[in-house]
Structure 1
Amino acid sequence: MADVAALAGVSSQTVSRVANHRSNVEEETRQRVLSAMRVLGYRPNTAARALVTGQFRTLGLISFGLGNFGNARTVDAVVRAAQRADYTVNMVAIEAQTEQAVHAAFDRLTMQAVDGIVLIEAQILDTPALRLPSGVPVVTADGDAGHRHATVDTDQALGARLVTRHLLDLGHDTVWHVAGPEDSHAARRRAESWHATLTEAGATVPPVLFGDWSAAGGYEAGRHLARRPGVTAVLAANDQMALGVTRALAEAGRRIPGDVSVAGFDDLDEAAFFSPPLTTVRQDFDVVAERIVALLVGQIETGRTPATAVLVPPRLVVRDSTGAPPPR
């Protein structure tokens, strides 16, 4: 640090302020210090900085089911948002949603000296008796129904209402639903909102068909729907299942959207290239991640841990897979 200060013609305190991203440094001085750091190959000693500040600039991340599209996109977006906030991320991926597994993941991350932890889609938090280890700030994404911790999520209910209302407005008498797994927060919120929207419209509420988020699960549900001639509109709880539903209906000779309209949820990059292009609900994972990191960093810096609930609105994307019902 002294060498950088001498080369840049500033004090060691100024070098420290630049290294720690403080704002009370003139831009010309900051650039001179950064140039000196590059010339000398200087890297801040993060261990020493942690001893001074009490912060390691590292976030822990616990994710359940990385094979799920939404979870994987959220993880990716959180890592990028953390980097922009000058934090690194250590991740633990676990499959077993048990109290023991959650506590083991917390222990592993806290031993790695993280400043805060993000949990993604942790249904185990529904267990009333579960208490997460204290002493570390926590933000959950799609998994804290009791709001015991700060939580950020897409407004799943709004998304399901938008797409269900879109199908009803096209003239369909009702909308069938291929839901996600029964233990999923997102799937439950979407199904509950679909049900409420149909009820509010005075439409018949068909029985729910449950899938597993996969195209194969959607295909099996689609084969069941194809045997029911009265089905004219289907909302699948994600785009992969919508793809399976579309395939099953097409194999049965049902035209999309001429005979049956099909909509999904998530807006996969490939959704615009389905045949036909898929009407769906776009989740803004980048905004969700930015809010998660902002809440967690706020807790780290202030020491306050409010049980705040933030909902990020989604957007309906209308494409060619939905249209008016066939003539009676």
Structure 2
Amino acid sequence: MRPDRAAIAPVPPAARLRGLRKVYRRTVALDSVDLDVPTGAVLGLLGRNGSGKTTMLRLLLGLSRPTDGTVELLGEPMPAGACRALTHVGALVEGPGFLPFLSGRDNLARFAAAEPLVRTSAIGETVNYALHRVGLDREAAIDRPYRGHSLGLKQRLGLAAALLTPRRLVILDEPTNGLDPAGIRDVRRLIGELHAAGSTVLLSSHLLSEVEETCTHVAMLSAGTVVATGTLTELLEADGPALEISTTEPNAALAALRHCRIPGYVERGLVIADLVETPPELVLSTLASAGVPVSEARRRRTGLEELFLRLTEEGT
């Protein structure tokens, strides 16, 4: 086989969980979890309180050992390979942990001093850049004791600690907790920058709008098991791709579609055309040829909230 036609080896996932089970005494926190976090993706981890999201993140980072199953992080078995993998991982899990009597800046400097990839001479520059990325470089309170910081300031500081150096993987547990709308917007911008730079982001959140706006992939947990996983587009079109059409002549639209053997029906005044075997361009050209007025047409997608509630209710 010619080299230029050789099959391209698949990119290994940034994280891989197989048969993962975690039991605390008589409580099963995770049960038979299989999940891949695709390299370069922004994966949103969704689940109700107590579904096992934070437990999964702790197992990924080697902060806890699984009762059964295996965990790989950046190709390293966890927790045995933590020293090799975690150098390239930034994480904010269960809130930031800093010394209360030190200022935010000094706390961040201590974190930078412990980073293997940060030279001692570059600590000050590294801290200043991290503060700039999270919008704290002009915040006077950053030089006051950490104990007096607001919840939003503490959360931003935790994000800065997670982003002190370029990361192959960033794990964020409820990163917008305590942030105002401007702070939430900044976090979304940061996630977009990380994605554009090629980093993989694993985001745990209870804000469905946040996940829908920032994530490329989604995994849903219910009662310790994964009930759905895939790209955001795949999940939102789980009921089948369709086109919603607004027209003043729905009966004529249906007749035109059926004449061309395109499945369709009327729902809440809208004509719904099935796109499983038909491109949207053909649907619209069919209606135009039949003289059917169309005021609006858009791809129909199941709302993430609707899908989440349906799947997590079925899993409980």
Q: Return the TM-score normalized by structure 2.
A: 0.27
Q: Return the TM-score normalized by structure 1.
A: 0.26
Which has the larger helix fraction?
1
Which has the larger strand fraction?
2
